[in-house]
Structure 1
Amino acid sequence: MRQPDIEIYLKDADVDHKAITAWLTQAIGPCTEWAQKGQTWKCQADNVPVTWIPKAVGKWNSLCLDSDKTPWEDDIACARAAFAALKVEVRCAPGTWVEEESDAEADQWIRISVDGEEEITWHTS
Protein backbone atom coordinates (compact mmCIF):
# COMPACT_ATOMS: atom_id res chain seq x y z
CA MET A 1 0.00 0.00 0.00
CA ARG A 2 1.30 3.44 -0.94
CA GLN A 3 2.28 5.60 2.04
CA PRO A 4 0.51 8.98 2.41
CA ASP A 5 3.86 10.75 2.80
CA ILE A 6 7.56 9.97 2.85
CA GLU A 7 10.25 10.78 5.40
CA ILE A 8 13.89 9.78 5.16
CA TYR A 9 17.04 10.86 6.99
CA LEU A 10 20.33 11.59 5.20
CA LYS A 11 23.57 11.52 7.17
CA ASP A 12 26.20 13.39 5.24
CA ALA A 13 26.79 17.03 6.18
CA ASP A 14 27.77 17.68 2.55
CA VAL A 15 24.20 17.04 1.40
CA ASP A 16 22.21 20.25 1.49
CA HIS A 17 18.95 21.44 0.02
CA LYS A 18 20.75 22.29 -3.26
CA ALA A 19 21.81 18.66 -3.79
CA ILE A 20 18.30 17.59 -2.85
CA THR A 21 16.89 20.03 -5.44
CA ALA A 22 18.93 18.47 -8.24
CA TRP A 23 17.84 14.95 -7.26
CA LEU A 24 14.14 15.83 -6.79
CA THR A 25 14.05 17.76 -10.08
CA GLN A 26 15.30 14.66 -11.86
CA ALA A 27 13.07 12.24 -9.90
CA ILE A 28 9.80 14.19 -9.53
CA GLY A 29 9.92 17.42 -11.51
CA PRO A 30 11.04 21.05 -11.28
CA CYS A 31 11.48 22.49 -7.79
CA THR A 32 10.38 25.93 -6.72
CA GLU A 33 12.77 28.22 -4.87
CA TRP A 34 13.39 27.14 -1.28
CA ALA A 35 11.89 29.27 1.49
CA GLN A 36 13.68 29.18 4.83
CA LYS A 37 11.81 29.56 8.13
CA GLY A 38 14.19 29.16 11.05
CA GLN A 39 16.03 25.88 10.52
CA THR A 40 13.40 24.50 8.12
CA TRP A 41 13.52 24.78 4.31
CA LYS A 42 10.44 24.26 2.14
CA CYS A 43 9.77 24.02 -1.58
CA GLN A 44 7.56 22.18 -4.06
CA ALA A 45 8.89 19.49 -6.40
CA ASP A 46 6.31 19.51 -9.17
CA ASN A 47 3.18 19.48 -6.94
CA VAL A 48 4.79 17.67 -3.99
CA PRO A 49 5.38 19.76 -0.82
CA VAL A 50 8.97 19.19 0.37
CA THR A 51 10.46 19.96 3.80
CA TRP A 52 14.22 19.79 4.50
CA ILE A 53 15.42 20.05 8.10
CA PRO A 54 19.22 20.11 8.45
CA LYS A 55 20.50 18.30 11.54
CA ALA A 56 16.99 17.24 12.57
CA VAL A 57 18.46 14.35 14.62
CA GLY A 58 22.11 14.96 15.45
CA LYS A 59 24.07 14.78 12.18
CA TRP A 60 21.00 13.54 10.32
CA ASN A 61 19.01 15.72 7.92
CA SER A 62 15.28 15.08 7.53
CA LEU A 63 13.60 15.08 4.12
CA CYS A 64 9.79 14.95 4.07
CA LEU A 65 7.65 14.63 0.95
CA ASP A 66 4.10 15.43 2.02
CA SER A 67 2.21 13.61 -0.72
CA ASP A 68 1.33 10.16 -1.99
CA LYS A 69 2.03 11.43 -5.53
CA THR A 70 5.73 10.58 -5.60
CA PRO A 71 7.50 7.97 -7.73
CA TRP A 72 8.04 5.87 -4.59
CA GLU A 73 5.60 3.49 -2.95
CA ASP A 74 7.11 3.98 0.52
CA ASP A 75 9.99 5.36 2.61
CA ILE A 76 12.26 2.42 1.78
CA ALA A 77 11.92 2.85 -1.99
CA CYS A 78 12.65 6.58 -1.63
CA ALA A 79 15.63 5.88 0.65
CA ARG A 80 17.07 3.45 -1.90
CA ALA A 81 16.68 6.06 -4.66
CA ALA A 82 18.24 8.78 -2.49
CA PHE A 83 21.24 6.58 -1.68
CA ALA A 84 21.73 5.69 -5.35
CA ALA A 85 21.55 9.34 -6.44
CA LEU A 86 23.35 11.08 -3.58
CA LYS A 87 25.79 8.41 -2.35
CA VAL A 88 25.17 9.15 1.33
CA GLU A 89 23.88 6.91 4.10
CA VAL A 90 20.09 7.04 4.39
CA ARG A 91 17.79 5.83 7.15
CA CYS A 92 14.04 5.40 7.20
CA ALA A 93 11.33 3.67 9.18
CA PRO A 94 10.47 0.19 7.88
CA GLY A 95 6.77 1.08 7.55
CA THR A 96 4.17 3.72 8.27
CA TRP A 97 4.49 5.23 11.72
CA VAL A 98 1.55 4.79 14.07
CA GLU A 99 1.15 6.54 17.41
CA GLU A 100 0.29 3.32 19.27
CA GLU A 101 3.66 1.81 18.36
CA SER A 102 5.90 0.84 21.28
CA ASP A 103 9.23 2.62 21.85
CA ALA A 104 11.09 -0.54 20.81
CA GLU A 105 9.18 -0.68 17.51
CA ALA A 106 9.73 3.05 16.96
CA ASP A 107 13.50 2.50 17.28
CA GLN A 108 13.60 -0.03 14.39
CA TRP A 109 14.97 1.57 11.23
CA ILE A 110 16.31 0.57 7.83
CA ARG A 111 19.86 1.70 7.08
CA ILE A 112 21.02 1.96 3.45
CA SER A 113 24.72 2.59 2.90
CA VAL A 114 27.79 1.36 1.02
CA ASP A 115 27.54 -1.70 3.31
CA GLY A 116 24.12 -2.58 1.88
CA GLU A 117 20.68 -2.55 3.46
CA GLU A 118 20.02 -3.67 7.03
CA GLU A 119 17.59 -3.28 9.89
CA ILE A 120 19.07 -1.37 12.83
CA THR A 121 18.03 0.01 16.20
CA TRP A 122 18.29 3.81 16.17
CA HIS A 123 17.31 5.80 19.26
CA THR A 124 16.30 9.19 17.85
CA SER A 125 15.12 10.75 21.10
Structure 2
Amino acid sequence: MRQPDIEIYLKDADHNDISNWLTTAIGPCSGWQQKGQTFKCKAGDVAVTWLPKAVGKWHSLYLESADTPWEDDLACAQAAFAALNVEVRCAPGTWVEEESVEQADRWMRISADGVEEITWRTQ
Protein backbone atom coordinates (compact mmCIF):
# COMPACT_ATOMS: atom_id res chain seq x y z
CA MET A 1 0.00 0.00 0.00
CA ARG A 2 1.37 3.40 -1.03
CA GLN A 3 2.27 5.66 1.89
CA PRO A 4 0.65 9.12 2.00
CA ASP A 5 4.06 10.77 2.46
CA ILE A 6 7.73 9.80 2.66
CA GLU A 7 10.29 10.55 5.37
CA ILE A 8 13.87 9.34 5.37
CA TYR A 9 16.99 10.30 7.32
CA LEU A 10 20.32 10.75 5.57
CA LYS A 11 23.82 10.99 6.93
CA ASP A 12 26.47 13.20 5.29
CA ALA A 13 24.30 14.78 2.60
CA ASP A 14 23.28 18.37 1.95
CA HIS A 15 20.24 19.91 0.37
CA ASN A 16 22.11 20.67 -2.88
CA ASP A 17 22.84 16.95 -3.36
CA ILE A 18 19.20 16.28 -2.55
CA SER A 19 18.05 18.84 -5.17
CA ASN A 20 20.06 17.15 -7.89
CA TRP A 21 18.72 13.72 -6.98
CA LEU A 22 15.09 14.85 -6.66
CA THR A 23 15.28 16.72 -9.99
CA THR A 24 16.25 13.45 -11.65
CA ALA A 25 13.80 11.29 -9.67
CA ILE A 26 10.69 13.50 -9.45
CA GLY A 27 11.09 16.73 -11.43
CA PRO A 28 12.80 20.11 -11.37
CA CYS A 29 13.43 21.52 -7.89
CA SER A 30 12.52 25.08 -7.09
CA GLY A 31 15.00 27.13 -5.09
CA TRP A 32 15.22 26.28 -1.40
CA GLN A 33 13.47 28.70 0.96
CA GLN A 34 15.00 28.75 4.43
CA LYS A 35 12.72 29.28 7.44
CA GLY A 36 14.72 29.00 10.65
CA GLN A 37 16.58 25.68 10.53
CA THR A 38 14.23 24.22 7.89
CA PHE A 39 14.57 24.36 4.10
CA LYS A 40 11.59 23.93 1.77
CA CYS A 41 11.24 23.53 -1.99
CA LYS A 42 9.11 21.80 -4.59
CA ALA A 43 10.34 18.87 -6.67
CA GLY A 44 7.91 18.76 -9.56
CA ASP A 45 4.56 19.02 -7.73
CA VAL A 46 5.85 17.50 -4.48
CA ALA A 47 6.42 19.74 -1.44
CA VAL A 48 9.81 18.91 0.12
CA THR A 49 11.14 19.74 3.59
CA TRP A 50 14.82 19.35 4.52
CA LEU A 51 15.76 19.60 8.19
CA PRO A 52 19.53 19.46 8.75
CA LYS A 53 20.63 17.60 11.87
CA ALA A 54 17.08 16.60 12.78
CA VAL A 55 18.40 13.68 14.87
CA GLY A 56 22.04 14.17 15.85
CA LYS A 57 24.07 14.10 12.61
CA TRP A 58 21.08 12.80 10.63
CA HIS A 59 19.16 15.04 8.22
CA SER A 60 15.43 14.60 7.64
CA LEU A 61 13.96 14.60 4.13
CA TYR A 62 10.17 14.78 4.08
CA LEU A 63 8.17 14.48 0.86
CA GLU A 64 4.63 15.67 1.52
CA SER A 65 2.81 13.62 -1.12
CA ALA A 66 1.81 10.10 -2.09
CA ASP A 67 2.61 11.11 -5.68
CA THR A 68 6.29 10.10 -5.71
CA PRO A 69 8.06 7.35 -7.63
CA TRP A 70 8.32 5.32 -4.41
CA GLU A 71 5.71 3.11 -2.79
CA ASP A 72 7.06 3.69 0.73
CA ASP A 73 9.91 5.05 2.87
CA LEU A 74 12.08 1.98 2.31
CA ALA A 75 11.89 2.21 -1.49
CA CYS A 76 12.79 5.90 -1.30
CA ALA A 77 15.63 5.21 1.14
CA GLN A 78 17.08 2.56 -1.16
CA ALA A 79 16.89 4.95 -4.13
CA ALA A 80 18.54 7.71 -2.08
CA PHE A 81 21.38 5.38 -1.07
CA ALA A 82 21.89 4.28 -4.68
CA ALA A 83 21.98 7.88 -5.94
CA LEU A 84 23.89 9.57 -3.11
CA ASN A 85 25.97 6.74 -1.63
CA VAL A 86 25.27 7.86 1.95
CA GLU A 87 23.75 5.82 4.76
CA VAL A 88 19.98 6.25 4.97
CA ARG A 89 17.48 5.28 7.66
CA CYS A 90 13.72 5.04 7.60
CA ALA A 91 10.84 3.58 9.56
CA PRO A 92 9.95 -0.01 8.58
CA GLY A 93 6.36 1.01 7.77
CA THR A 94 3.87 3.80 8.22
CA TRP A 95 4.33 5.44 11.62
CA VAL A 96 1.29 5.78 13.87
CA GLU A 97 0.94 7.89 17.01
CA GLU A 98 -0.16 4.91 19.13
CA GLU A 99 3.06 2.92 18.55
CA SER A 100 4.87 1.62 21.59
CA VAL A 101 8.32 3.01 22.33
CA GLU A 102 9.86 -0.32 21.28
CA GLN A 103 8.09 -0.15 17.91
CA ALA A 104 9.11 3.49 17.44
CA ASP A 105 12.79 2.53 17.89
CA ARG A 106 12.65 0.00 15.00
CA TRP A 107 14.31 1.40 11.90
CA MET A 108 15.64 0.19 8.58
CA ARG A 109 19.28 0.98 7.79
CA ILE A 110 20.37 1.17 4.15
CA SER A 111 24.12 1.24 3.61
CA ALA A 112 26.95 -0.46 1.76
CA ASP A 113 26.18 -3.46 4.00
CA GLY A 114 22.70 -3.77 2.47
CA VAL A 115 19.32 -3.38 4.18
CA GLU A 116 18.92 -4.36 7.82
CA GLU A 117 16.57 -3.68 10.69
CA ILE A 118 18.18 -1.84 13.60
CA THR A 119 17.20 -0.29 16.92
CA TRP A 120 17.68 3.48 16.73
CA ARG A 121 16.76 5.45 19.83
CA THR A 122 15.97 8.89 18.45
CA GLN A 123 14.74 10.43 21.69
CA shift digits 1:23-70 (9 cap, x unpaired): 000000001010000110000000000000000000000000000000
In the alignment, structure 2 segments of 5+ residues that lack a partner are none
Q: Which residue is equivalent to 1:8? A: 8
TM-score (ref. length: structure 1): 0.98
Q: Which residue is equivalent to 2:79? A: 81
Question: Partners in 2 of 1:90 and 1:123 — Cα distance?
Answer: 15
In the alignment, structure 1 segments of 5+ residues that lack a partner are none
Mapping of residues 1-125 of structure 1, within 5 Å: 1-12=1-12, 15-125=13-123
Partner AA of 1:111 in structure 2: R
Partner AA of 1:105 in structure 2: Q
When the two chains are superposed, the root-mean-square deviation of aligned CA atoms in Å is: 0.4
Question: Partners in 2 of 1:86 and 1:79 — Cα distance?
Answer: 10
Count of residues paired in the alignment:
123
Partner AA of 2:7 in structure 1: E
